[in-house]
Each structure stands twice: as structure tokens, then as C-alpha cells.
Amino acid sequence: MKVIGKVAVLFAALALGGCLPVTSKVPVGTTAGLKNDAALYGTWKGKNPDDKKQRDGTFHFMRAKDGGFDVMVVMAEGGSDDGWTAFTARTATLGANRFLNAVMTYDKNEPVAGGLKNASIPLLYVVKGRTLTLHLMDEDKTKDAIKAGKIEGTIESGTMGDVILTAGPKDLDAFMARPEAARLFKPMLVLRKVD
């Protein structure tokens, strides 16, 4: 896995694992139409429920000029990890699955470079009342799906190689619409809406 600089809480696996998440060459849901889910607008606060030491992050979902979302993630407790991360995002619904495609644009005032530049990070999300749960693709399960020929992708060499989904829009969306696709995701963040 490629090591990246510490990233603010958004998509905690980046900060927790110090490696790239599973990315995709194209956003999930292109054939169904990318849009915004109005249920996400506003401010949310939370963290990975399995990491008791992790600080809460604040997530601001705002309408972007291009019709997508701008997402700002802020951490501020006076420590060396304080800062902000910016993403652009679009949502899509395929079958019973709802996806958020996140593209990191800035991290701590620096434009994103390397493996995350222009990379779409597919997230499965669930909104229940005032709770938003974001699910990140499990790297090992995704590798197994690629090896089994269920979805096209590349796996970098070594046991910790990064994973990139390379399927075109039609094939990617057909796979992600299936119930089995949801099993490739694991809970990453639980956020509560802030009044």
C-alpha cells in the first residue's frame, strides 16, 4: 500500500490505515445519473465507531456550483493533526444501494497528488433519521472479487497492493446494483446531524 500523508478524518481509513482506499476509474452510478441526495446537506459530526481514541470530525456537505457536493472535513483540537480536507462528491442509487463518489481535492491547504489525484472513492451510505453511516470498500474482499472475475480491477503487487476498479460505467454499475456488491463494503464512519 502506498503511504500518504495524514489525512483529516474524512474517510477515516485513509488516516487509520495510512494507505489508499479502493478507488475507481469512473464514479459508481454514471449510467443511472449522478446527482445529490438532499438528505446529506448540512453539518454532520462523528468518527469510526471501532476506534475509541479517534477524534470526531466535522463534515459539511454543501451544494457545489457544478451541481455536485462540496464536502469539507475539519478537525480542530489544537494538535498537529488539525486541519481540513476538501472533497467533491456525487451520489447515485443502484438497486437498493446508495453510493457517494468522493474525490479528494485538498488536504491541509495542499492540492491532492499521487494515487488519489482525480480518483473516485466509492462509498456506500445509509441515512436513518439523523444518522449517516459511510461504508468504505474492504480491500481484501474487493481483491477477492477481482480475482474471481466478478468485477474488473487492478491489484498492485505485494500482499498490501492498492486496488483500483477499472470496469467501465456499464459493467461497474451492473455489479454495484447487485446485493452482493454491498457485502464488499465495511462500516467506516457513523455521523450524527448537527443542528
Q: What is the pLDDT of residues 104-138, one digit of tens each?
A: 888 776 777 777 788 899 999 999 999 999 999 99
Cell of 170: 456499464
- Kindly state whether residue 1 falls inside one of the protein's structural domains: no
Averaged pLDDT of the chain: 82
Phi, psi torsion values for 141, nearest 5 degrees: -65, -35
- Alpha carbon 153 to its chain centroid, in Å, reads 17
- Kindly state whether residue 170 falls inside one of the protein's structural domains: yes
> What pLDDT digit, counting tens, does each position of 50-99 carry?
777 767 788 899 988 777 788 888 765 555 556 778 888 999 999 999 99
- Residue 142 scores a pLDDT above 90: yes
- Kindly state whether residue 6 falls inside one of the protein's structural domains: no
- Alpha carbon 145 to its chain centroid, in Å, reads 19
pLDDT of residue 79: 54
Cell of 50: 471501532
The DSSP output letter for 56 is P
Please, what is the Cα angle at 157 between 156 and 160, to 5 degrees? Answer: 80
Strands 163-165 and 23-24: parallel
pLDDT of residue 57: 81
- Kindly state whether residue 7 falls inside one of the protein's structural domains: no
What whole-number distance in Å separates Cα of residue 184 and Cα of residue 74?
Answer: 28
Q: What is the pTM of this model?
A: 0.83
- When divided into structural domains, the chain yields a total of 1
Of residues 36 and 48, more confidently modeled: 36
- Kindly state whether residue 4 falls inside one of the protein's structural domains: no
Of residues 163 and 3, more confidently modeled: 163
Average pLDDT over every residue of 12-22? 56
Query: Nearest to residue 107, comparing CAs of 128, 86, 91?
Result: 86
**Contacts for 77-86: CB closer than 8 Å, 24+ residues apart:** 81/6, 81/8, 81/15, 81/55, 83/8, 83/107, 83/108, 83/109, 84/8, 84/108, 84/109, 85/7, 85/8, 85/9, 85/10
Which range marks the domain in which residue 143 is found? 13-193
pLDDT of residue 88: 87
- Residue 153 scores a pLDDT above 90: yes
- Kindly state whether residue 5 falls inside one of the protein's structural domains: no
pLDDT of residue 8: 39
- Kindly state whether residue 17 falls inside one of the protein's structural domains: yes
